[in-house]
Amino acid sequence: MEKWSLMTIVALLGLIVRWTVSLGSYSGAGKPPMFGDYEAQRHWQEITYNLPIKHWYFNTSDNNLQYWGLDYPPLTAYHSLLCAYVAKLIDPNWIALHTSRGYESQRHKLFMRTTGKCFRKGLMGKGLFLLIKLGFTVVVSFALCWLPFWTDVKQILQVLRRLFPVDRGLFEDKVANIWCTISVLFKIKTALSAETQFKLSFALTFLTVLPSCIKLTLQPSLKGFKYGLVSCALSFFLFSFQVHEKSILLVSIPVCLVINEIPFMSTWFLLVSTFSMLPLLLKDGLLLPYTVTTLAFFTACITSFSIFEKTAEDDLQLKILSSSIRRYISWFKAFPDIMKNLFLVSITLMGILTLMSATLDPPQRLPDLFPLAVSAVSCLHFLFFLLYFNVIVIWESRESRNQKKTN
């Protein structure tokens, strides 16, 4: 009974935090002519409701692709359409064709927040059967989503062009991945052709996800699967083509799955992932919610998970690696001391950059100094975490085999 009471309190607390944060500003509030990501989500509802499916991804007189043209997969478009039907019942002005552009009101803001649209061994026969069922479900779902577009090759090609925006270049804005960070020293977007950029991005993404995928294929385990999710998602964020700043949230989700196993490192990663979006949050006037929720989360992790008491090699999942290193380097310090010191340097640096970004004006010659600094610092963190999670994936089976031998 106590367990259910605790779960209820946690769930209610989560809802309270979400609704409190939702009172703040949002992307593009009161900023014509494009208004930001909020307007993009609203506009997709307008387009999917008022136009036939064959026009959703095409530039027409009623669908200007330069004004937040739909560039997400059909499943997202169907979700927008479903939300649009609800919006129509509440207030038709919210999705009126053309005249609803830039629509803003407290009621509509509440609607967008509510709909979640404010942003973007036994180990072989049974396993094979489950894999076939899963594959069948995925294929059928994919086929149904794409069914309306299969009538015309032009439709398929246009949707693919919208989903894979190669023409936009390797990256936009100040995203905390390797390409934006490298561009500080080497203007990769101008030095290399678009085709070369695309091939380089594909090659590095493929090579960095390969180790964990191979290990998981050869030695499947639940633990390896969870950490493999993290490392693969992080590889895509760091090296893939045209990544958005908020895509780091797709890495944070699997990290939350392992926070109970490695609370110290998970907390650290989640703090950095939020920090990496600082320029975006400042742009939308969300400094106060960012500061309050980050401090609240950090405090909760200290009290609930006792993160500073769980930095032993076992807690960090680095015992086997640490022992192996000490065989060759006898003076090697323990990982707990290294990690604690790195963590203190990290949060100090993030705090200083947050303060500077929020209070100081950058030099006129370097207007993007602070966003680039945030992106570069965050990227270095993410490269470190990519190495860390891959080490866990690769060394996990060795640890399991050693335990089996002992047993």
Q: Give the pLDDT confidence score for residue 120 in this predicted structure.
A: 42
**pLDDT digit string (tens) for the chain, length 407 residues:** 566 676 777 778 777 887 787 777 888 888 888 888 899 999 999 999 999 999 999 999 999 999 999 988 898 899 999 999 999 999 999 999 999 999 999 889 888 887 764 444 336 345 556 667 777 888 888 888 888 888 888 888 888 888 877 777 788 878 999 999 999 888 888 888 888 898 999 999 999 999 999 998 888 888 889 999 999 999 999 999 888 898 999 999 999 999 999 999 999 999 999 999 999 999 888 999 999 999 999 999 999 888 988 888 888 988 888 878 878 877 677 778 889 999 999 999 999 999 999 999 999 999 999 999 999 999 999 999 999 999 998 876 555 444 444 44
Structure tokens at 200: 């380089």
In the chain, % helix, strand, coil (3-state, to 5) comes to 70, 0, 30
User: Among the residues of 222-366, which ranges form H helices?
Assistant: 222-239, 249-257, 263-275, 278-283, 287-305, 319-328, 335-359
pLDDT value of residue 26 = 82
Do the Cβ atoms of 75 and 37 come closer than 8 Å?
A: no
> Backbone phi, then psi, for 347, in 5-degree steps?
-70, -30
CB atoms within 10 A of CB 31: 14
Q: How far is CA 86 from CA 23, 45, 47, 339, in A?
A: 22, 10, 14, 50
Burial 241-254 (b: 16+ CB within 10 A, else e): bbbbbbbbbebbeb
| pLDDT value of residue 152 | 85
Helix (H, G, I), strand (E, B) or coil at 289: helix
pLDDT at residue 3, as a whole number:
61
d(CA 119, CA 34): 15
Query: How far are the Cα atoms of 293, 326, 340 from residue 308, in angstroms, in the given order?
Result: 20, 24, 8
C-alpha–C-alpha distance, residues 115 and 80, integer Å: 10
Kindly list the distances between the CA atom of residue 174 and the CA atoms of 34, 333, 358, in Å, as whole numbers in the listed order. 19, 36, 16
CA-nearest of 42, 50, 89 to 68 is: 42
One-letter amino acid identity for 60? T
Which residues, other chains included, contact 170 with Cβ-Cβ below 8 Å and sequence gap of 6+? 179, 188, 189, 197, 201, 241, 242
3-state secondary structure at position 375 = helix
User: Is the distance from CB of 219 to CB of 397 less than 8 angstroms?
Assistant: yes
Between CA 324 and CA 332, with CA 330 as vertex, the angle to 5 degrees is: 80
Which SS3 state, helix, strand or coil, does residue 123 take? Answer: coil
Instruction: State which amino acid sits at residue 144.
Output: L
Q: Is 181 left (phi over 0), alpha (psi -120 to 50) or beta?
A: alpha
Q: What is the pLDDT of residue 126?
A: 53
Amino acid at 106: Q
